[in-house]
Structure 1
Amino acid sequence: MSKTIETSVVIIGGSIVGLATSAFLAYRKVPHILIEKHAGSAAHPRAIGFTTRTVELLRMLDADAQTQGTTFNRPPRRIQVESLAGKWEEEKHWGKKPHGPPSGVKGGSDPNSGVLSPVTGVALSQDKMEPIFRKRAVELGAEHYLGWKMTSCSQTHSGVEVTAMSKTNEEIKVQAKYLIAADGSASPLRESLNITRHGVGLMRSISSILFRCEGIRKYLEKGFSQFEIKRDGFEAFLVSYPDGRWALMTYKQDDARLSDTEQKDLIRQVTGENLLDSDIEIVAHGGWDLAAFISDQYQSGRIFLVGDAAHTLPPTRGGYGANTGIADGHDLAWKIASVLSGESDPYLLDTYEPERRPLALTRHNQVFARPDYKEYLKTSEWKLPEGTEVIDDSAMEFGQLYRSNAILGSEDLSLPEAQTPAEWAGQPGTRAAHFWIKQHEQRKSIMDLFYKHWVVLSQNRAWKDAEREAAEKCGITTSFVQIGADVVEEEEGNFERFYGVGKTGAVLVRPDGYIAWRCAEGPDNAGNVLAAALSKVAHAQRKKN
């Protein structure tokens, strides 16, 4: 006999993106259930390196990942070699120019540290990051059904119903308002909805061997952590993880079925070292497909795609895979919370796809505009848009532009896809820039004031009355922060510099920390002006004249 559970949201898939989405929903007190067919994280580390933006979101959750991983500020360095012990040839740069000193090295410094963000990225593998999100989600009230597999799914105009079964043949039926599909690149949910995908496509099949070998750690001393092995028609890829594990990737599917002895022989071949069997510990092995696809839809009725279900991207030194999916979940969570609270009309959810899909498409194209993967364009029907150039890493990380009906002021199609925060200077549709402030004698980032609800920022106290009036008219939870009074800039002028408003102007920041609207100088009827803007971007249910 099955048990029926009623909740607000059901998440299918409990890998990194599903877990992050669960944590973001729990942070906003949205009742939900996560269903994952596996009992825990996969043995393979998979993604390595979580970007500064992801760590900003962990900071929001009060889940400190930085203490558990080596911080990094630049993409990992890669070099082509015949073998580790053989000839080292040329460094393979991620961007248009060399990235300078080694990255991912403890104690490394970043000239932008504390300038673009209050945190830095972490060189932590996915199997280490997943428990952080899982633990925080459960602490905040999430229910996770691990070891349960979805067996059916249906939706109506008013909700969704999912049936799931455990490994011991117990069955549950989950009735929810919305479903979030975080079920991976193959996504049975996406396929059942007949959502198509486009992109460079399937690139090649990979066989992967995860191992430990203390005898080759010396090759990391020059600051390289990724090695392209090329010699005499043989190709492989070797990457190190901060905890001492290595992953050897080859391009023969049969290599995934090699015996331990054969795998160790292959490791000797790529390292060029005369290693004993006892020097090498095989941890795991398997196979996967290297591919690049963007789903043509991110939403079908009450079902939303996140992560690899929405966009499958190859591993990159820019962190475009898991990190992009984590941000999907963050964007969707606040919108679902606002709709379920009754503050926002369900049409707010229709802004998810217009914001997140173009961003993923830009990242897809950036992958193939860069040297690491450019060669795959030769065998694909996919063509980069004319004039595509490599975009600066800080612009990709902190300055991709949202265009949707939850933003006022980003409609101009001549605006670039991405710029640095300094170049944007408060452009609506971009992440609200970091700068340091003092509040009650405590040093904080201005970003620490966001993420709970809508925030109005201004140097002019008159906007306090406008904020109250707008909140009352729209039925939207807001707060007001006066720069120079409620908080003090550590460096005077940063608010005007980074947010592009004068002393009487104001900025409206969304619950996800993105700028929804700004007014360069204060109008006479500020309350009406702010209420009109808030009503539009929040899709307010209650609208009073």
Structure 2
Amino acid sequence: MKTSVLVVGGGLAGTSAALFLAWRGVDVTLVEKHPGSSPHPRAVGFNARVGELLRAVGLEGELPVSRMTKGFGVRRVRAESLVGKKFDETFWTPPAQLSDIEYSPSKGVGVAQDKMEPLLRDKARELGADIRMSTRMLEFAQDDEGVTAIVQGDGEPYEIRAGYLIAADGHRSPVREQLGITRTGRGFMHTSRSVLFRAPLQEYLKDGIGQFVIDGVGFLTTYGDGRWVLMLDDREYTEPELRQKIVQAIGRDDLEIEIITTGRWTISAAVADQFSAGRIFLAGDAAHTLPPSRGGFGANVGIEDAHNLAWKLAAVIGGESRPSLLDTYDAERRPVATLCHQQIFARNDGHNRDGEPEDAPLIDNNAMHFGVLYRSDAVLGAGPELPPAQLPEQWNGQPGTRAPHVWIEPGKSTVDLFQRGWVLVADHPQWEEAAGQAGVQYERVEQLDVFGLSAKGASLVRPDGYVAWRSTDLPDDPTGTLKNAFSSSSAGTR
């Protein structure tokens, strides 16, 4: 069989890639060796930037809003037990200054990974993605024209011929290993045991604390849906021992406790030294293994990888852009993963027991979610002198950053104008004429100051909602200037 894009791996990054590609009309096939999601919930809570991406494809309204406290993320304390005495609270990053600035039309999403993945799968299928569970890729090879994979489901192995392959096959990534792509980072840190259980403990979450470091026991946290996980030292435990540990962590023995499953987790940190090789691209944990953190730098970053890559593949496959556009995936996303790796170890987030803290300035959480900077050939005017991330109001519409949010009418944000195609934001008839000549969608926005523009300026926004270029004022030849900027930043064929 033939497909434009083959995605290997049906976790959050892979399923998101299939969803975003299908939403853009790309013929995509996904293969996943497991029959469904892991019984362990794993990631829980997705940031508002991911909420924006799900808003665009029509999923946001189906998902519960995150319980995360504004400006503080998930609160963590050291305690003698869940019901016992609480000691010092761990501030993993300086508490954000309360501000009237609203960064997004979306909110964080409060759902566990094992509930999120089926929602993404169902939506991807609805949009036309071919998703094949219980199907393993046995081997693959690429040439100048595409990638050939041998896969196997319940029957005999068969061949899939694809234009491109996205490897979202986990932190051990057989695809990455076969390509010989090395990784850099802290590496192996430690191994933990876990027990997932259900118990009626909702009353202990009223003060906004959701993570507990229990003295002499381990780390206890909630998934917000009645399920809790207790992380323990790495050894074998009998069921009575597990129940004893759970009771000790809770601090009372009169509750009904249902043990759901147990797990063994290797905590490591590494970023691939390249995110692509020919027609093959790494995404999610295959590209960057980032320890769980209250900054949400694991699953969220993987979903954003998929989003960045999807519009570029769609543009190249559709003939709108030259293949060189795909080189910007590594240039844009790998520095973000490296920055996240740095920030995890710069913060007091429980991982520095495995080594010295990273000596780096702490970056505000909103800056990490909404203000990372892309430097690549798909951006004009993002120089090396600029910082890797800042708050959106500090960027003020800087090319290479996410286009800022501002309400343009009740219920409609500037963010809602983007993600389908290239958009020129301006409020001047000459720019409207230029957009028509360049084949770019024109959107009239009166609040140009948040884009760093004068009344005669314009910003060109990419299909992923990032500013590719801007002219702060009206040039002598708006049409020619825009055409040149569009051709350069999109690797356009038009």
Shorter chain as denominator, the TM-score bin is: over 0.9
CA contact (8 A) 1:70 1:242 kept: no
Counterpart AA for 1:82? E
Q: Which moved more, 1:337-346 or 1:72-81?
A: 72-81
CA contact (8 A) 2:45 2:66 kept: no
Conserved in 2, the CA contact under 8 Å of 1:461 and 1:482?
no
Are residues 1:430 and 2:401 paired?
Answer: yes
Deviation per CA, 1:200-224, whole angstroms, max 9, x where unpaired? Answer: 111110111000111x433223321
Q: Report how far residue 468 of structure 1 moved.
A: 2.3
DSSP 3-state at the match of 2:352: helix
Structure 2: gaps (5+ residues): none
Amino acid at match of 1:246: W
Aligned partner of 1:305: which letter? L
2: CA distance between counterparts of 1:145 and 1:189? Answer: 18
Q: 2:251 is aligned with what amino acid?
A: G
Equivalent position of 2:469 in the other structure: 517
Alpha-carbon distance between aligned partners in 1 of 2:17 and 2:100, rounded to the nearest angstrom: 29
Q: Structure 1: state its 5+ residue gaps.
A: 101-109, 472-477, 485-493
Amino acid in the other structure paired with 2:375: R
* 2:361 aligned partner: 389
1:21 and 1:333 in contact (8 A); partners too: yes
How well do the aligned residues superpose, as a CA RMSD in angstroms? 1.7
CA distance in 1, matches of 2:485, 2:317: 21
Alignment correspondent of 2:54 = 58
Indicate the residue corresponding to 2:324 in structure 1: 347
The 1:66/1:142 distance shift into structure 2, 3 A limit, reads closer
Displacement after TM superposition at 1:495 (Å):
2.0
Matches within 5 A, 1:240-389: 240-254=222-236, 258-275=237-254, 279-373=256-350, 375-376=352-353, 378=355, 384=358, 388-389=360-361
Residue 218 (structure 1) aligns with:
203
Partner of 1:481: 443
Of residues 530, 537, 540, the one that matches 2:482 is 530
**Count of residue pairs the alignment pairs up:** 492
Partner amino acid for 1:352? Y
Could you tell me how far 1:235 is from its partner in structure 2?
Answer: 4.6
Identity %: 44
CA distance in 1 between counterparts of 2:235 and 2:378 reads: 46
Q: Distance in 2 between matches of 1:156 and 1:446?
A: 41
Residue number in structure 2 paired with 1:463: 431
The letter of the residue matching 1:407 is V
- Cα deviation 1:37-66 (Å, max 9, x = unaligned): 111111111001100000100000011256
| Secondary structure of 2:110's aligned partner | strand
Q: Which amino acid aligns with 1:399?
A: G
Ranges of 4+ aligned residues in structure 1 off by more than 4 Å: 110-113
Of residues 98, 108, 128, the one that matches 2:115 is 128
Measure how far apart 1:447 and its partner are.
Answer: 1.3
Task: For 1:221 and 1:528, locate their aligned partners in 2 and report how far apart those are by CA, in whole Å.
Answer: 59
Q: 1:46 to 1:112 in 2, by over 3 A?
A: farther
TM-score, with length taken from structure 1: 0.87
What CA distance in whole angstroms lies between the structure 2 residues aligned with 1:377 and 1:207? 17
Query: 1-side partners of 2:192 and 2:391: how far apart?
Result: 35
Using a 3 Å threshold, how does the CA distance of structure 1 residues 298 and 158 change in structure 2: closer, same or farther? Answer: same
Cα distance change on mapping 1:65 and 1:322 into 2, 3 Å: farther
Q: What TM-score, normalized by structure 2, do the two folds share?
A: 0.96
1:153 paired residue number? 140
Query: How many angstroms apart in 1 are the aligned matches of 2:63 and 2:336?
Result: 30
Superposition pairs for residues 195-206 of structure 1, below 5 Å? 195-206=181-192
In the alignment, which residue of structure 2 is the partner of 1:490?
none
Does the alignment pair 1:34 with 2:30?
yes
Partners of 1:253 and 1:47 lie apart in 2 by 23
Contact 1:8 1:30 in 2 (8 A): yes
Cα distance in 2 for partners of 1:374, 1:213 equals 27
